[in-house]
Amino acid sequence: MDLPLEIEQLTNLQKLHLDGTQITNLPHSPKWPRLSELFLQDNPRLSELPPLFFDHMPLLQDLNLSSTSIKEPPHSFTFDGAQENLHNLRVCVLGECNKMHATVDGGRSFSGNMLINLEFLGVFYMKNLKSILQGLHSPLCFQRLKSMALHNCPRLTTIFTLDFVNNLDFLEEIVIEDCPKVNTLISHESSKQQERRFLPALRKVSLLYLPQLATISDGLSIGPKLEKIGFYYCPKLKILSTMDLLSDDLKVIKGEAKWWKRLNWSQAGWEQSQVDHLKKIFSPIDEDRDILTHLTTDKDDIVKQDANDAGDNNGEDDDYCDLDDDNVNDIDDDNDDSEDDNDIDDGDDDSENHDEDNDEL
C-alpha cells in the first residue's frame, strides 16, 4: 500500500497515524511543516524510510517506528542527514527493526543539533542492535533526554560511552531489561581518574535479566540524586560499588533476597554504618509478581507526560489523519484565511484510543 496522494498534499497536517495500515511505501519528501506526531508502528512490510522523508517536518515531536522492518536508522538520524528537521523530536520509540545496529549513526560526518530535544527513547525487540549511539556525535546529542528504556536486545553490548554519558545531565530514569550481553552501563577505557559525578539528575534505575552485568558504572561516580534502584537476575553483579550508590537521596533498593545475601561488601570499600543503612532500605522482590511492575510500583509519569506534551499545540485545533486498514472515508479541504485546513477522518475518531507504546515501558 502506498500513501494516498491526497494525504501527501495536506500541507497543514499535524498528526498522522498510519499504525497497522499495512503501508509499504512512503512519499519521497512530503511537505508537512506542521506535523508534530507520526505513528508508523505495526507495519511489518515497511522496510525503509526515503532519505529525504523528514526534510520538511521541522515540528515533529513524537515518532514511533516500532514493529516495522526498517533496516537502518532514518537518514535524519545520521549526522549527514537532515537532523535540523528532527530538532524538536521529543518522543522516539523503535522496536523490531531487526537490521538496525545502532539507533543513531554519527559515523559519516559531524553536526551540532541532532536530537537535541529528545526526552524519551524507547527501544525493544531489536535482535541485531549493538549500541545506542555509533560513531562521532555532538556534545548536544541527547542532551535533554529524561527517560530511556531498552528491552529485549540480545546483541546489545554498549549503552553509554564516556563521551555519551557526559551529555546526559537531565537523564532521570533508566530501564534495561533482557539484554544478555551487557556487562556495564558505561563502557570506557580511560585510566584517568574522573572527578565529576555523571548522570546528575538520575533518580530511578531498573536492571533486569542481565546475566553478564558485572558492574554498574565501571568505576565512575554516578547518580548523586539517585532515589531508587532495582535488580533482578543479575547473577554476576556481586559487588555494589560506593561509586554507584553514594546518594543521600537513596530511599530503596530492590532485588532478590538470595542475591542480596551473597553480595560482597568488604571489597567495595563501604563503612559498616553505610552497609547497615543500605540493608535497612533493601526491599526483597516478590517473585510471584511481574518483576518490572514490582520494580516500578511508584511509577513515574515522565513518559506519559512527554507523550502528552508532544501532541500539545497550546490549545489550537489539530489537523489529524488516522488511516484504518486503508480506509479513508472522508477528506475535507477547507480554506480559511488563505490557509488550507486539512482533516482526514476514518469515520471513528479514535485518536483517544491510540495508546502510547512507551506507556508500557
The pLDDT score that the predictor gives to residue 320 is 55
Distance CA 259, CA 256 (A): 5
- For 70-123, the DSSP string reads --S--GGGBTTS-GGGGTT--EEEEES-TT-SEEEEE-S---S-TTTT--EEEE
Instruction: Give SS3 for 131.
Output: strand
Give the model confidence (pLDDT) of 39-53 as tens digits. Answer: 998 888 888 888 888
Across residues 120-126, what is the average pLDDT? 92
276 burial type by CB count under 10 A (0-12 exposed, 13-18 middle, 19+ buried)? exposed
Lowest-pLDDT range of 123-127, 200-204, 347-351: 347-351
Distance CA 111, CA 129 (A): 23
Distance CA 90, CA 22 (A): 26
332 burial type by CB count under 10 A (0-12 exposed, 13-18 middle, 19+ buried)? exposed
Backbone angles phi, psi at 204, to 5 degrees: -135, 135
The pLDDT score that the predictor gives to residue 322 is 58
Give the model confidence (pLDDT) of 160-213 as tens digits. Answer: 988 889 889 999 999 999 999 999 999 887 656 567 899 999 999 999 999 999
The pLDDT score that the predictor gives to residue 54 is 85
Residue 67 scores a pLDDT above 60 = yes
Q: Are 28 and 50 in contact (CB under 8 A)?
A: yes
Percent of the chain with pLDDT over 90: 38
Residue 358 scores a pLDDT above 50 = no
**Nearest CA to 96 among 118, 129, 74, 120?**
129
The pLDDT score that the predictor gives to residue 87 is 76
Q: 209: phi > 0 → left, psi -120 to 50 → alpha, else beta; which?
A: left
The pLDDT score that the predictor gives to residue 84 is 54
Scan for cell 572527578, then name that residue: 195
Greater model confidence, 94 or 75: 94
User: For residue 124, what is its C-alpha cell?
Assistant: 525493544
Give the model confidence (pLDDT) of 87-112 as tens digits. Answer: 788 998 888 877 788 887 665 444 44
Instruction: Give SS3 for 150.
Output: strand
Scan for cell 479514535, then name that residue: 350
User: For residue 132, what is its C-alpha cell?
Assistant: 545506542
- Please give, one letter per residue, the 3-state secondary structure of 185-249: CEECCCCCCCCCCECCCCCEEEEECCCCCCCCCCCCCECCCCCEEEEECCCCCCCCCHHHHCCCC
Lowest-pLDDT range of 68-77, 142-151, 152-161, 179-188: 68-77
The pLDDT score that the predictor gives to residue 262 is 94
Q: Which H/E stretch holds residue 163?
A: helix 162-165
The pLDDT score that the predictor gives to residue 85 is 61
Backbone angles phi, psi at 124, to 5 degrees: -150, 150
Distance CA 323, CA 330 (A): 11
Greater model confidence, 304 or 7: 7
Instruction: Give SS3 for 65.
Output: coil
Residue 32 scores a pLDDT above 80 = yes
- Number of Cβ atoms within 10 Å of the Cβ of 76: 25
The pLDDT score that the predictor gives to residue 9 is 87
The pLDDT score that the predictor gives to residue 201 is 97
Instruction: Give SS3 for 347.
Output: coil
User: For residue 346, what is its C-alpha cell?
Assistant: 476514518
Which amino acid type is present at position 294?
H
Paired strand residues for 122: 93, 149
The pLDDT score that the predictor gives to residue 286 is 77
Give the model confidence (pLDDT) of 274-308 as tens digits. Answer: 999 999 999 998 776 667 666 665 434 434 444 44
